[in-house]
Amino acid sequence: MQPAIQAEARSASNAAAGGQAAPLLDVQGREVGSPESRYGLSTRTLQLLKQYDVRSMSGSDLYALTEMLDSNGEMDSQVASATRGDIDNNGWNGGGACNAVQIFAKRHDDVQASVKAGETSARLASYSLDNYSRVQQALEKLGAIHDALQGEDKVQSAASDSMKQALDLSRFERWSQAMTRAESSGEKVPLSKETAESVSRVLQRAGADLPPPPDGQDKGAWVKQALQAYRSWQTQHPGSKLDIDLQTAEQEDKTVFKTKNQPKPTPETAGAPLPPPSSTPAQRAQAALTQQAEAQYGMGMSTLQLIKSTDIGSLSMEQVKQYSTLLQASGVLSQDNADSLLPLTQRGMVDSLSYYKRDLSWLHSMLKLGLTPQYATAAGMVDLSDVNARISNDQQGQRVLERLQRLHETLQSDERVPATASGSLRQASDQAAFDNWARVEQKGARNAQNAGLEYRNQNDVDGIFRVLQRLGVELTPLDGDSTTGQRLQQAWQDYQQWRGSQYGGQAATSLPVKRTIDTFA
């Protein structure tokens, strides 16, 4: 994604009609302060991104979106091509909703797991890893812009089925511009089957009486007829342009019970921390113990409670990955330590505490026999690319698991860290999702550069609403066809009003981690 154009602005002219100063324009010719300038995107792209979410979008719609962004210069061509190539090669160019952010995150982690397992050399995998990272970052930025646009009243949302229209229009506009240039240069404009079909659909939608494009290679007569039909439409509709369908204001308002002049949260209730309630001597004593424990371990209390309540040996592989992700996000695990667990979590292995020990024993026995360890592929057994890298990662992964387990066992006897009820891993995930959502909403970024992803998947969304429910926030009912973005936007307003009515009521946040698991050798 291209970053939003910043404050390098110029004046369109010294004065406009009526003696008023002309609006300042950025280097792309967009009015400074407008959504188009702040996000660095065209009006149509913003309308589409307000409606379509890359975390819940069909492969065919994502394919169309990246083609349009690429042709508009709004997405890196290599990133757009890699996205469309993955959709084609892996067969998700259908109509079912997919989470593209998660798909490419998994692609990246699968390759990284292969490197850590010694199956692929880091040098050979570097291109794929970089490619998947760039695609994932671009998709996350599109998701972040979608989230930010939910609060942009100046951007009207595209209709729910308008992506095909937008793709047709994009191809039509490129074709009509090329035809205009060709008339003066005398060059022949190539016309693909896809473009011809898009041109036909656009003109038919505009009311032109145009037959379908012929199947053969020679489309000269049909092209002239199509161009004539378009110019006839322009003559009949001066000053108008062909565009996609948009939602009306009534369609965008999904609240079941409409209210007028709903009070908006003040800056104090919206952002400032609420004053703490008066505490009792027992509460102050407990706070002192909490501070002692946090200082000793270098971690916030919520992180310590998570580790105390989590026995790695009893977790499923999905839970181990969830646990690893939480600890990495909180700073307990470094990126490298988290990556060392990928061979375990990505392959769904069992018995996490013994997996690396067993693998090390097997590797050493193979080497002692003078044999090269192999791994299974669809084509059969293949030699490991880097045995030493696998041994090193096995040792690192085992150290990470053992240190986490030792800290878990140590905390069992530390009464300063309160025990938590069952399901603490899910509650910790919920709280992490809520904290991220609240942080992004609190920041309120309304430009491409600073917009943040409010959630990564449906589990995050469910977790956010579970936290709001535990807090006792009364949520405004929405229509059943409301989008996730609309639900979260309304939930944020409800949460702000709830905060304004509470004395010290807010969801707990964790202190930053000052020590990693490597400290607990």
203 or 519: whose pLDDT is higher?
203
pLDDT, one tens digit per residue, over 324-354 is 999 999 999 999 999 999 999 998 777 899 9
pLDDT over 60 (residue 260): no
The predicted structure's pLDDT at residue 478: 87
Whether the pLDDT of residue 15 is over 70: the answer is no
For the cut 90, the answer to whether the pLDDT of residue 245 exceeds it is yes
pLDDT of 182 over the 80 cut: yes
How much is the pLDDT for 266? 45
Q: Is the pLDDT of residue 198 over 60?
A: yes
pLDDT band at 398 (very low <50, low <70, confident <90, very high): very high
* pLDDT beyond 90 at 250: no
For range 83-111, the mean pLDDT: 94
**From its phi and psi, is residue 348 left (phi > 0), alpha (psi between -120 and 50) or beta?**
left
pLDDT on residue 264: 46
Confidence at residue 512, expressed as pLDDT on a 0 to 100 scale: 53
Q: What is the pLDDT of residues 209-239, one digit of tens each?
A: 888 898 876 788 899 999 999 999 999 999 9
What DSSP assignment string belongs to 418-436? Answer: ----TTHHHHHHHHHHHHH
Q: For the chain, what percent of residues have pLDDT higher than 90?
A: 73
Whether the full predicted model's pTM is greater than 0.75, yes or no, is yes
pLDDT bracket for residue 270 (50, 70, 90): very low
pLDDT at 8: 38
d(CA 172, CA 461): 38
**Coil, helix or strand for 47?**
helix
Nearest to 142 by CA among 31, 41, 5: 41
What are 34's two structure tokens? 């407008």
CB 491 within 8 A of CB 464: yes
* C-alpha neighbours within 13 Å on the C-beta side of residue 509: 11
Q: Looking at residue 16, what is its pLDDT? A: 45
Average pLDDT rounded to a whole number, residues 127-155: 97
Measuring CA to CA, which residue among 500, 469, 463 is closest to residue 484? Answer: 463
* Top-confidence residue, 81 or 209: 81
Which runs of consecutive H residues, i.e. helices, occur in 412-504?
424-443, 458-471, 484-501
Q: Rounded mean pLDDT of 167-181?
A: 95
The overall average pLDDT reported for the chain is 88
Tell me which residue of 109, 95, 106 sits closest to 63, measured CA to CA.
Answer: 95
- Which tens digit of pLDDT belongs to each residue from 456-505? 999 999 999 999 999 999 999 988 788 899 999 999 999 999 988 875 44
- Mean pLDDT calculated for residue range 237-255: 84
Whole-angstrom CA distances from 153 to 42, 149, 157, 185, 253 are 16, 8, 9, 44, 11
**Confidence at residue 514, expressed as pLDDT on a 0 to 100 scale:** 61
Q: Is the pLDDT of residue 100 over 70?
A: yes
Q: Supply the pLDDT for residue 159.
A: 94
- pLDDT tens track for 34-64: 999 999 999 999 999 999 999 999 999 999 9
Q: What percent of the chain has pLDDT over 70?
A: 88
Confidence of residue 255 (pLDDT cuts 50, 70, 90): low
Scanning the structure block, which residue is given the tokens 């192999």?
Answer: 374
Q: Which residues of 36-69 are buried (b: 16+ CB within 10 A; e: fewer)?
A: bbbbbbbebbbbbbbbbbbbbbbbbbbbbbbbbb
Whether the per-residue pLDDT at 240 is higher than 80: the answer is: yes
